[in-house]
Structure 1
Amino acid sequence: MQSRIGRIALVAVGLVVAIVGAVFAGQGLNLIPGSTMTGDRTWLYVGAVMVVVGLILVWLGLRRAPSGRA
C-alpha cells in the first residue's frame, strides 16, 4: 500500500481488530465476565486469530513502502 491515508487506515483497522480479538480471548478465558461468551473456549480461539490478523494488518501498514527505484 503506497498512499499515506491507506497505510494509516490499515494500521487503525488492525488495531481495532486486535483489541476486539483480545476482548474475545479474555472472555473465552473467563477473565472478562458478564457475557454469554464468558468461559466458552471457542471465543478464546476466535479472539486469538483476530489478534494475529490485527497485528499482521498493523505490520503491513507500518512497514516501509518500496522506494520505486530499480
Structure 2
Amino acid sequence: MKGWLPLALGLLAVVAGAVWTVQGLGYVEGSLMTGRRVWALVGPVVVLVGLVALWFGMRARRRR
C-alpha cells in the first residue's frame, strides 16, 4: 500500500497542471483562467511537482 498516495497526488498534479497550462495559453475557453499568463507559468511548475511525486511514489513501490 506504500507509495499509492504520492502516485495518486502526482497524477492529479500532472493533469491539473497540464489543464492550467493550456487554459493559460488560451487553448481552452470558458474559464476565468483562459488567456491569463500566470496560469501558463504556474501550470508547468505544478506538472513538474507532480512528476517528482510520481517518481517518489514509484521508488516507494519498488522498494517493497
Normalised to the residue count of structure 2, the TM-score between the two structures is 0.88
Q: Percent identical across equivalent pairs?
A: 44
The residue that corresponds to 1:62 in the other structure is 58
Instruction: Kindly indicate whether residue 10 of structure 2 is the aligned counterpart of residue 11 of structure 1.
Output: no
Please tell me the root mean square deviation across aligned C-alpha atoms, in Å.
Answer: 1.3
Structure 1: distance between partners of 2:9 and 2:26: 26
Measure, in 2, the Cα distance between the counterparts of 1:41 and 1:10: 28
SS at match of 2:26: coil
Which structure exhibits the higher relative contact order, with contacts defined as CA atoms closer than 8 Å and separated by 6 or more residues? 2
Q: Structure 1: which 5+ residue stretches go unaligned?
A: none
Distance 1:54 1:6 in 2: 17
Alignment gaps of 5+ in structure 2:
none
- TM-score normalised to the size of structure 1? 0.81
State yes or no: 1:42 paired with 2:38: yes
**SS where residue 13 of structure 1 aligns?**
helix
Say how many residue pairs are matched. Answer: 62
Q: How far did residue 9 of structure 1 move?
A: 1.3
